[in-house]
Structure 1
Amino acid sequence: MPPNPSHHPIILFDGVCNLCNRWVQFVIKRDPRALFRFASLQSDTAAILLRKHNYEDPPLQSVILLMNGNLYTESTAILHIVGQLRGPLQLMACFRVVPAFIRNPLYRFIARNRYKWFGKQTSCMLPTPETKMRFLD
């Protein structure tokens, strides 16, 4: 783990999920400021970071965003992430005004079916040499 990743928002994701890995690549391409850092939920790094936030045994069904000392999950994490990206996608962040109990059922439906629809890998994604510095594990 880099010495102090705390000044960067950190996205924790299911490292064996094809959809999740595509999401990470999607974010990297739209994050020219290299704002975000990434770690697999299966990693020791994620376990350490989550313990610091008193969040043990995270469900692999949720992306987790650690930003400005806060921990966000499910659709709230996604909307905070897109709000930091470049381009028209930022506009999706306005959906944060919709209560999470309305947004999260769709998120959970996709999360439950992601392996069936998109498949999974037997091991976590390996970052490319160009993106390796953005991964904490």
Structure 2
Amino acid sequence: MPDTGLPPHIQAHERVVLFDGVCRLCNGWAKFLIRHDAERRFRLCSVQSQEGQAILAWFGLPTDSFETMAYIEGSQLFVRSDAVLRVLSQLSGGWRLLSGLRVLPRSLRDWCYDRIALNRYRLFGRYDSCLLPSADHQARFIDGESHS
């Protein structure tokens, strides 16, 4: 397979949100994106899936502990508060306004992000296994889907 400079399972035009599939908060974020991304800009992929693991490895991110959400645009990786704000900036309606939080120093934004991320299981709970997307949302997920 030729080196395209792109992570595995991701096409040049795609925007992919990697999320922890057993985290209740992270699953809520995925459901929020499905609900509010009317233009279907984003695809979703759980970090526990084979595809998610391959993408994490390609970027040199840990494949056994998931302490940040990752967002990928083509070959660009965004993590922590940058990832969240980059995604919000592309949603329609009032959600886009929240991306204005980028004016805050990244160190402050990431400190706040980390407080939630590192305590998310205790605060929000976790599932015993990854939730599977419903049939009507399957096309939004990379997991288990082949790209042509």
Scaled by the length of structure 1, what TM-score is found? Answer: 0.90
1:99 CA drift (Å): 2.3
- Contact conserved, 1:5 with 1:37, CA < 8 A, in 2? no
Cα distance in 2 between the residues matched to 1:6 and 1:49: 14
In structure 2, the residue corresponding to 1:7 is in which secondary structure?
coil
Q: Which structure 1 residue ranges, 5 or more long, are not aligned?
A: none
Cα distance in 2 between the residues matched to 1:51 and 1:74: 17
Q: Which structure 2 residue ranges, 5 or more long, are not aligned?
A: 1-8, 144-148
Report how many residues are paired: 134
- Contact conserved, 1:75 with 1:103, CA < 8 A, in 2? yes
Q: Of residues 99, 102, 123 in structure 2, which corresponds to 1:117?
A: 123
Aligned residue identity for 1:56: L
Displaced runs of 4 or more, over 3 A: 3-6
Q: Could you tell me which residue of structure 2 aligns to residue 89 of structure 1?
A: 95
Q: Which shows bigger deviation, 41-50 or 73-82?
A: 41-50
- Contact conserved, 2:10 with 2:74, CA < 8 A, in 1? no
Scaled by the length of structure 2, what TM-score is found? Answer: 0.84
Please, what is the CA RMSD of the aligned residues?
1.5
1:90 CA drift (Å): 0.1
Q: Could you tell me which residue of structure 1 aligns to residue 22 of structure 2?
A: 16
1:123 CA drift (Å): 0.5
Q: Could you tell me which residue of structure 2 aligns to residue 26 of structure 1?
A: 32
Aligned residue identity for 1:33: E
- Contact conserved, 2:45 with 2:142, CA < 8 A, in 1? yes
Cα distance in 1 between the residues matched to 2:93 and 2:142: 26
In structure 2, the residue corresponding to 1:66 is in which secondary structure?
strand
**Deviation by residue 1:33-85 (Cα, 9 ceiling, x = unmatched):** 111011111121012223333x2315411100001421011111000011111
Matched, 1:65 2:74: no
- Contact conserved, 1:31 with 1:86, CA < 8 A, in 2? yes
1:4 CA drift (Å): 5.5
- Contact conserved, 1:47 with 1:56, CA < 8 A, in 2? no
- Contact conserved, 1:15 with 1:21, CA < 8 A, in 2? yes
- Contact conserved, 1:9 with 1:37, CA < 8 A, in 2? yes
Question: Which structure has the larger Rg over C-alpha atoms?
Answer: 2
Matched, 1:74 2:80: yes
Q: Could you tell me which residue of structure 1 aligns to residue 110 of structure 2?
A: 104
